[in-house]
A and B are shown apart, each in its own frame.
Chain A
């Protein structure tokens, strides 16, 4: 036998106790949605897992109203230590039900069980544990004494780390004293709904967290709701831009975690075996469905061929297949739509003259899959070097000097993350200084921790999640503090409806058109 054809080692689904239909979680109860329900499927088999309720605008209103009632009636009156106790409870319940959550996540999202089990779910617990401790220490959040919560937070999260993104959003919001209406992504609602059950087990006061499911229009209705005080969004730059536009002129506080096209820079003195691992982890972790993925490999020209050889060897050992198999490295692409996008962009890469290499792995018959792929001979002008592919596709570019590496790394409208691989400590620090990105990994990649702020420069968004800045994003200075209160917006003026005059106008509308 071939030892490397490891026998199947599937994680059992017996631990799951799923319902066939899920309602919206509003005011502490599951209620029917008023929109047309939709199904959530297992992307590895395309089989239905459950029917999910669809929230229409009336449901959004109900959820926001519940959150408002809970805010004024309960949560904002609770002591910080009591809020913290609820969060600690939630953290423990997540730990207790960790295996179940991991299995559900892999089933619904398609990510390998080893990742949901070893990365996503442990971090979810850690996130609640970390922010639980902040709840009664807000004076030290950096906004002066007695900072105030914002009110109702509208939170819209993506499908790539469904439960983890939920934790990133809900934990700091609740610690700071806000209440929440959260909308998970359409294709990955399941773990958010299991999480709602956990909230019931934790006996969290009704309405403090409301989870409404639906598609983009549900999210839009939520962030545009007039009674929302904070909007937090993780997702594409296009949607983030639209949200930034729609909250313009309001006093909603906004945090955006958007796209990226991270450079992973490998110098010729890099610890090469670890760099290869870092490249692989950087782009193939979670099928490359990672906003901070190291999707652009910038390798020093002198070691390009050797790195590519080693990389191909290593990628050839990756195991693609059943997300619930404990030995799977590459799971399923989350949706047919995403698979289409990856396929289109890689086809374009070939058209534009880049050289494609894909791992020779068997692709299952059903479900959505994409073999790990690297493109060499990529130039900075290629679309695969500029657009976020959000899949297991690496674009390889070369550089000759540190200055060129930095220039190429920064040559993007994004600025979420970057990697640096070199044995030279002083170079790490100098290059890190010059990279325009919010998270930089030196001789490592794709590490996350609740104590570590995460977020982007430029079009990768603004605001930070994690750490003290992640808490401050859900707070404002005490109203009595004169100087710090200076940033309050002026009374809102009605939006101009007249056509702007010829000298002043074109900037806004012309650019919008040009961007289409």
Chain B
């Protein structure tokens, strides 16, 4: 006799908590074969707004943490991902319809990628920053700093976990906080990742994960005046030019959509894209 399983209620992840959508809406998540898997919360514009509020509240602490500390916190996530490996593999097999081997490979790559980015936290400033030899009695230094809140449309094709990790991790490295719209049809990895984040040392609000329709939510994030940057990597099937136009209203930093298996390949460029170079001049006077 088989045991009757206990299905999970999949919710949003906002400010370190797991709310249902304020709209009360859900949508069906289907397995690759078409079977019903779960009802995911269908985030509304107000959920997006709450997520931005949470993300803003978290910026100071996360950006203000030491780089070493951020690196450790990010590495800790990789440890937890490793511990939940089986769960992620299982969900990927179900939602993406791939083999266990392929799912395992994706999870491994996602974890390794997370570790790669975690290691950048206390190094990218040294690579992207500069001491500037100005002609005068000044100490002059340029350092990259986090832009603030990055809104992300996660890749909607390819591996659901790997795609998400590939865009969230680099944004976090510098100290940005994130509002990410998950893969619409395959959000289970994202929701499970939120559970990992919730039990990790990442402060609430640093990562906020919305499930639902990117077409519905993205315009609100693109036009939100308190969002500083927009990663449209997974927005290729949306009216992304309109999103970019909306983002121009407050001069957001925008990364364009990317398609194909190479989308969001690991690169320091993805870290630096969501930073601002701050240059400070100090007078040097001996007497």
Contact = CB atoms under 8 A, between A and B. Distances in A.
A and B touch in the complex (CB under 8 A): yes
Contacts of B255: 487
Given A469-B142, A507-B220, A508-B242, A489 B257 contact: yes
Q: Which 8 A-B pairs have the closest CB atoms?
A: A249-B241, A244-B248, A248-B244, A489-B256, A449-B134, A507-B219, A486-B265, A507-B223
B236 A493 contact: yes
Contact of B222 (A461, A482, A505, A507): A507
A284 B281 CA distance: 20
Residue of A442, A443, A452 with most partner-chain B CB within 10 A: A452
Given A487-B258, A511-B246, A452 B142 contact: yes
A490 B264 contact: no
A161 interface: no
Given A248-B248, A507-B223, A444 B270 contact: no
A126 B135 CA distance: 10
A502 B268 CA distance: 39
Interface string A115-129: 000000000001000
Contact of A511 (B142, B223, B241, B269): B223
Contacts of B112: none
B265 A483 contact: yes
A496 B242 CA distance: 8
B266 A468 contact: no
A403 B251 CA distance: 27
Question: Interface range on chain A: under 10, 10 to 19, 20 to 34, or 35 or more?
Answer: 35 or more
Interface stretch (B50-58, B203-211, B271-279): B271-279
Contacts of A489: 256-258
A503 B280 CA distance: 45
Contacts, number: 179
B276 A142 contact: no
A505 B138 contact: no
A487 B219 CA distance: 21
Contacts of B258: 486-490
Given A484-B267, A496-B239, A490 B259 contact: yes
Contacts of B250: 413, 458-459
B216 interface: yes
A383 B278 CA distance: 27
B2 interface: no
Interface in A490-516: 490-493, 495-496, 500, 503-505, 507-508, 511-512, 515
B253 interface: yes
A486 B269 contact: yes
Contacts of B22: none
Contact of A505 (B219, B273, B282): B219
Given A241-B249, A505-B219, A508-B242, A451 B140 contact: yes
A237 B222 CA distance: 18
Interface stretch (A45-53, A348-356, A432-440): A432-440
B239 A495 contact: yes
A442 B219 contact: no
Contact of A248 (B45, B245, B257, B283): B245
B132 interface: yes
Contacts of B140: 449, 451-452
A439 B223 contact: no
